[in-house]
Chains A and B, each alone.
Chain A
Amino acid sequence: MFQITRKTLPALALASTIAGFSGAGWAADPWVVEAGDSEIEFTGTQLGAAFEGEFKSFTAEIVFSPDDLAGSSVKVLIDIASVDTANGDRDSQIVSPDWFDAAQWPTAKFETKSFSETAPGQYEAVADLTIRDVTREVILPFDLEIEGNEAKATGTVTINRTDFGVGQGQWADTSQVGDPVTIEIDIEAKRP
């Protein structure tokens, strides 16, 4: 006869707790971003020529399962002051009041509202992107590879900087600093 003793009780409780979390197939999984292997880059144009830059510091809360897109969500906070375009003068311009005004709005936020699968391994995220005090809906198509507990997502979305008030006053003119900015994400994450 199977007897529950004092000794086995805690172990049983622990086992059932773990089962309760991981056993439910429909619950989306939390993921932790590998900061060293992840990048949020962008390409803008200046004087008619494209240049690249990146935001070196950001945090992400990711809950995602391909089989539970409704329960999946991603929220990314980007530290504007971490911008790096390999040009100190330009970087200090970017954070200034005419552009991102990092003193007043230090972070940009990307928060998903829904996901859909467009092809095997390919998804689209509908998200609210907040830069400065402007929130706009963007659609980010991305490719996702999940191998075991490691995932890699890459995607590109093009936005217009002036939609978000990036470039105030004379800088709203897009002849020298182009309006479209392409954001490229390359995120690697682990399922703990």
Chain B
Amino acid sequence: MTLRSTKNAFGAVTKTIHWVMALLVISVFSIGWYMDLLPLGMEKLEWISRHKSLGVTVLALVILRVIWRHREPTPEGLGKTRIERLAAKAGHLGLYLLMFAMPLTGWTMSSAANFPVSVYGLFTLPNLVSPNQELFETLRTVHWLLSWAVAGLVGVHILAALKHHFWDRDATLRRMLPGKIEEN
């Protein structure tokens, strides 16, 4: 199995990170909304714990993903027009930025709320800022707004993949699917 990507195919490492992160992002997002609706209680705190731990995992993985991406070729976009390929690049850049921005705003808002972040109960992250109620409220709003951006951009990402698969009938979706490495 090829670990590294080529100009025409995604390697096993990138595919794995992609799908693990897809699962993580959907989980963190769903938990985030669910915990927000729960009344204050043990259950809410349990879900907040999971949300924070998974969020930190996203941050760790996106850092690995970016490092790995710079160390292997990136398969070229299969969009037919230049605009389409630019839009795809912009969308991917947006997803990367959000995968950093969500955990970082979450971590910072936890710090501002004097609610330090424990990662699976194994260790605690240092506070990024000192407690500050006003900053906490601002960051909470930013975190919430960005969650809508995640929903929107992930939606576009999925629709675009489906459009490539069913409309353009190219290898965009196929070459990212788990299993054998597929060249387009």
Instruction: Name A's B-contacting residues (CB within 8 A).
Output: 46-53, 85-90, 93, 170-171, 173, 175-177
Contact = CB atoms under 8 A, between A and B. Distances in A.
Contact of A48 (B40, B42, B49, B133): B49
Interface residues of B, number: 20
Interface in B30-46: 40-42, 45-46
B102 interface: no
B116 A50 contact: yes
Nearest to A89: B113
A49 B118 contact: yes
B42 A47 contact: no
A176 B113 CA distance: 17
Contacts of A93: 40
A10 B74 CA distance: 100
Contacts of B46: 175-176
Contacts of B116: 49-51
A41 B93 CA distance: 46
Contact of B133 (A53, A88, A171, A177): A88
A171 B114 CA distance: 20
Interface string B116-133: 111011001000000101
A47 B124 CA distance: 10
Interface in B84-122: 113-118, 120-121
A53 B120 CA distance: 23
Given A170-B42, A176-B42, A49 B117 contact: yes
Given A87-B113, A87-B115, A47 B52 contact: yes
Contacts of B113: 86-87, 89
Contact of A49 (B115, B131, B133): B115
Nearest to B121: A48
A49 B124 contact: yes
Contacts of B115: 46-47, 49, 51, 87, 90
B17 interface: no
